Structure 1
Amino acid sequence: MDIHESEDHEYVDIHIERRRVIWISALVLVGIIALVVLTMDKVRELAERIVTPVEFKPVPEIPDVYDIKGYAAASEKAFDTFLSHGDNREIYAKLENFLQLNQVAEVVPSYELLRQGSDWQEIDEPPFAIPPEENWETMVDTLKVLQDEIIPRIGPVVVLSGWRTSGYNAKAGGSKRSKHMHFCGLDMVPKNKYTRKQLVPILRDIHKRVGREWNMGLGIYSGVRFHVDTCGYRRW
């Protein structure tokens, strides 16, 4: 006996199929709308990036002079200008190599050793100068005293005055026997915060313990500026 589907059953199947097509069409439409919205957002974002200027943060300019605890110390920027003259860059590279060979190149930045002083603007003299090669040896022991005795006790230091030409020394009112003119003496200040009352006893203790051993000269100026050399045992 054959079984035939009724007309009502065919009508239900057609109705279900239509609803399925409608749902699929609706889902496709929703997907298309979502895609269009996302695309528009991306286009708008890209347009804003193109139209809106990018904000660049200015790079801080390196000054020619640092104010270090009230003293005018010529900066690396000023030193680079100094190196651009004549054969200064070549000679300085040779000096750096000498300090490396003697294992004292990392005690303080090498360029600080060539600062003539902190009053160079007042006396109209160059902030930097390079000593003759025959004077380089005398700086080695002074740097070793800093490295072995002073920096371990008070922390890192900033050199305000190292090598000085005779012309600079005379204008600055320095002693005619100044150790700066032999590339042996350094004037400096501690980077860490010290009062004079805190600093002076430490420096005097170092000089008392190892001063003779290093043939060390120690001078303490106003505030926390002090002098060290290894070219004569004395203290002032």
Structure 2
Amino acid sequence: MLRFISAAALAATLSFAPSVGSGQLIGRAANVQAAAATVPMHKAAADAFGLAHVADSGLAPGQSADDFRTWVSGSGGNRDNVVAFGNFLAAEGVGSIVPLWELTRTSSSWRECGAEPFEAPPPDKWEHIVTTLKFVRDDVVPAVGQVEAVSGYRNAKLNACSDGAPKSAHREFFALDLTPVNAAVDRDDMIRSVCAAHARDGARYDAGLGFYTGRRFHVDSSGFRKWGPNGKGATSPCVHYA
């Protein structure tokens, strides 16, 4: 069974960046990934992947916790990449904000697009989600309680098939689509609370905010902005609570 590397080992690993050739992974993410492949984990798999606390909104058919277990156990590469990603998030202090396994959900269109239901984000994009997770921790969760991630990284092919913008924040893994875990939080309360948090602190986190139908919303850290159905700020539901 795999085990997480210790904080001390991570600190030592992240402090040294060896020279690498063209095409190889570079920087802290590469070091964490390499360490994860050689250092066993001291936690049970359920804790390692955040499966000990499972929420299922029903918004991600075919992307349930059981589906993740099947996917991650089907390939050693999948398992090792997710473990390395989790170790990186832990080292950055954002490892327990959203269950790790949910961060590997791709898109609700995965089946129609012939894609995978889960995908470990590429290591060169791991740092992009850190600020987004901090905004979720510091502002979104206090506003609506714990959240479930229903979509994260989308590769270029899946993003195009899902009708994502060519420069979608999901492609670079700045973005998460979320929904409140607490079913008692209705759409109006969710919008009002998240919009207030975004207006107060969004600029500090360079946070983008958009809302879908129902209780699903988008956050990223690739530009302070908000938008509505036509992609414009003027149609954002936040304008009703300004």
Give the alignment's TM-score, normalised by structure 1: 0.68
| Cα distance in structure 1, aligned partners of 2:207 and 2:97 | 17
The amino acid of 1:129's aligned partner reads E
Q: Greater relative contact order (Cα 8 A, min sep 6): structure 1 or 2? A: 2
Change (3 A) 1:194 1:82: same
| Cα distance in structure 1, aligned partners of 2:159 and 2:57 | 21
1:223 aligns with 2:214: yes
| Cα distance in structure 2, aligned partners of 1:137 and 1:70 | 26
Displacement after TM superposition at 1:222 (Å): 1.1
Q: Is the 8 A contact 2:86 2:100 kept in 1?
A: yes
Gaps of at least 5 residues in structure 1 are 1-65
SS at match of 1:235: strand
Gaps of at least 5 residues in structure 2 are 1-54, 228-242
Of the three residues 68, 86, 105, the one matched with 2:95 is 105
Identity of aligned residues (%): 37
- Residue equivalent to 1:118: 108
| Cα distance in structure 2, aligned partners of 1:122 and 1:91 | 25
| Cα distance in structure 2, aligned partners of 1:224 and 1:76 | 20
The amino acid of 1:187's aligned partner reads D
Give the alignment's TM-score, normalised by structure 2: 0.67
SS at match of 2:196: helix
Point out the more displaced range, 85-94 or 184-193. 85-94
Displacement after TM superposition at 1:122 (Å): 2.9
- Residue equivalent to 1:212: 203
- Residue equivalent to 2:163: 173
Structure with the larger helix share = 1
Q: Is the 8 A contact 1:163 1:183 kept in 2?
A: yes
Displacement after TM superposition at 1:67 (Å): 6.2
Displacement after TM superposition at 1:181 (Å): 0.9
| Cα distance in structure 1, aligned partners of 2:146 and 2:56 | 17
Pair member with larger Rg: 1
- Residue equivalent to 1:41: none
SS at match of 1:121: coil
The amino acid of 2:188's aligned partner reads K
1:185 aligns with 2:175: yes
| Cα distance in structure 2, aligned partners of 1:157 and 1:204 | 15
Q: Which runs of 4+ in 1 moved over 4 A?
A: none
